[in-house]
Structure 1
Amino acid sequence: MVVLATKCYIGGAARERALDSLTSLVGNELSGLDVEFDVGLRDDDFPSVTVTGEDATVARNLLREEWGAITPHREAGEVYVGTLESWDDDFLVLDAGEPIRIPKEELGLGSGTASQIRKRFGLVQHMPLRFVQGETGEPSRLADAERDRLYDWTRGTGRVNVNSATRAEVRATVNRAGHAQDIVTVERLGLLEQSIVCREGTDPPGILADIGPHLPSELLCIIP
């Protein structure tokens, strides 16, 4: 079994649609392998995928690579994935099956409080983030690859990050708002966290203002 490092935290019919979407994504990832799989949901909202069959080991490794995995056994110095749970001026707190508190000094994303850094880089709640497990008694830190990704966002053409919606739902909302020609793509960050990549010359706050009323989401702009 693999516990994926992304959450399904919405309810009702939207929850069922999100789990159906995840099942399709897992199926696409494992297509061509000799496996059967079943997608479930833990009480803490992390999805679990049970895989059986001749290629089960390969399949589990593919899922870990694509989504990250929640594991109770983490080694110091190794990279893992947690979802952004909460924040204050001094820390970002990730959920990796247990709380991982990353001090602002260990984010490596410039000056400001942890809350200010979160907004500047568009870190919506529940977004998966890679971190390096600290030594016993020492804090964990944001992984180098994660820092590089977030800095790349600020050097691009602008983005609007969204939570609580699948990629298909965000794309449909952008289209309904008349902005299909103003974006490059919608990148999947997690099951319910997406990043709308703007075209050159597109105003991210303008897109946020137009789609915001149609999505029950947190939306944050990244402005180059």
Structure 2
Amino acid sequence: MVVLATKCYVEGEARERTLDSLESLLADDLGELDVTYDVGVRDDDFPSVTISGDDATVARNVLADRWGAITPHLEAGDEYIGTLEAWDDEGFVLDAGRTVRIPTDSIGLGQGTPAQLRTRFGLVQHLPIRFVYEGDTDDGTAVGRLADAERDRLFAWTRGEGRVTVNSATRAEVRATVNRAGHAEDIVTVERLGLLEQSIVCREETDPPGLLASIGQYLPSELLAIVP
């Protein structure tokens, strides 16, 4: 079984659409392998994929590489993926199957409070984020730092043409919303960041805050604009 490091936290019809989307993505990832699989969602909203067949080991590795995997044990110095659950003056709080705190001085994204950095870099809630686990404190709190590759990715976002990050919506839903709002020609693509977290990549002449204001009325989501 592989527990994917991305969450399905919506309910009702939105949950059904999200799981249908996940099934389609899994079919693309595993369609050429000799496996069968079943998809479920744990109580903590992480999807689990139970795999059997001759290529089961390969399939588990494919999914872990594509989505990241939630594991029961963290090894100090290793890199993992957790979802952004909260932030306060002390840093970020990630869910990696257990709570992991990223202290402010371990974020590594420049000056500002965690809340300011979250807004500046478009870190919507539940966004999958790579981190390096550094160990537990005396009171049992897991701590880590943002992975170098994660910092590089986020800095690259601020050097591009601008973006709008979105949660609580599949990639297909975001693309349809952009089209509905009449902005199909104003974007380059919608990049999948997680199952329900997307990044709308703007064209050079597109104003990210303006795009956010235009599409926000159609999406019951958190949206953050990244302005280069």
Q: The TM-score by the shorter chain falls in which range?
A: over 0.9
CA–CA distance in structure 1, aligned partners of residues 113 and 88 of structure 2: 8
RMSD: 0.8
How far is the alpha carbon of 1:165 from its aligned partner? 0.3
How far is the alpha carbon of 1:182 from its aligned partner? 0.5
Gaps of 5+ in 1: none
Question: What residue in structure 1 maps to residue 55 of structure 2?
Answer: 55
Question: What residue in structure 1 maps to residue 145 of structure 2?
Answer: 141
Helix, strand or coil at the partner of 2:143? coil
How far is the alpha carbon of 1:135 from its aligned partner? 3.0
Question: What residue in structure 1 maps to residue 186 of structure 2?
Answer: 182
Instruction: Verify: 1:99 aligned to 2:99, yes or no.
Output: yes
Gaps of 5+ in 2: none
Question: What residue in structure 2 maps to residue 153 of structure 1?
Answer: 157
Which consecutive aligned stretches of 4+ in structure 1 deviate over 6 angstroms post-superposition? none
Query: TM-score when scaled to structure 2?
Result: 0.97
Instruction: Verify: 1:45 aligned to 2:45, yes or no.
Output: yes
Instruction: Verify: 1:213 aligned to 2:217, yes or no.
Output: yes
Q: Which amino acid aligns with 1:88?
A: D
CA–CA distance in structure 1, aligned partners of residues 135 and 84 of structure 2: 21
Q: Which amino acid aligns with 1:164?
A: S
- Which shows bigger deviation, 119-128 or 88-97? 88-97
Percent identity of paired positions between Structure 1 and Structure 2? 72
Question: What residue in structure 2 maps to residue 71 of structure 1?
Answer: 71
How far is the alpha carbon of 1:91 from its aligned partner? 1.1
How far is the alpha carbon of 1:72 from its aligned partner? 1.1
Instruction: Verify: 1:193 aligned to 2:197, yes or no.
Output: yes
Q: How many residues align?
A: 224
Question: What residue in structure 2 maps to residue 17 of structure 1?
Answer: 17
Q: Which amino acid aligns with 2:102?
A: I
CA–CA distance in structure 2, aligned partners of residues 39 and 72 of structure 1: 19
Q: Which amino acid aligns with 2:119?
A: K
How far is the alpha carbon of 1:103 from its aligned partner? 0.7
Question: What residue in structure 2 maps to residue 88 of structure 1?
Answer: 88
Q: Which amino acid aligns with 2:87?
A: W
Question: What residue in structure 2 maps to residue 35 of structure 1?
Answer: 35
Helix, strand or coil at the partner of 1:169? helix
Which runs of structure 2 are paired with 1:103-114 in the superposition (5 Å)? 103-114=103-114
CA–CA distance in structure 2, aligned partners of residues 202 and 47 of structure 1: 35
Instruction: Verify: 1:170 aligned to 2:193, yes or no.
Output: no
How far is the alpha carbon of 1:201 from its aligned partner? 1.2
Deviations 1:69-89 (A, max 9, x none): 111111100000000000112
Query: TM-score when scaled to structure 1?
Result: 0.98
How far is the alpha carbon of 1:139 from its aligned partner? 3.0
CA–CA distance in structure 2, aligned partners of residues 113 and 203 of structure 1: 25
- Which shows bigger deviation, 130-139 or 174-183? 130-139
- Which shows bigger deviation, 212-221 or 134-143? 134-143
Helix, strand or coil at the partner of 1:214? coil
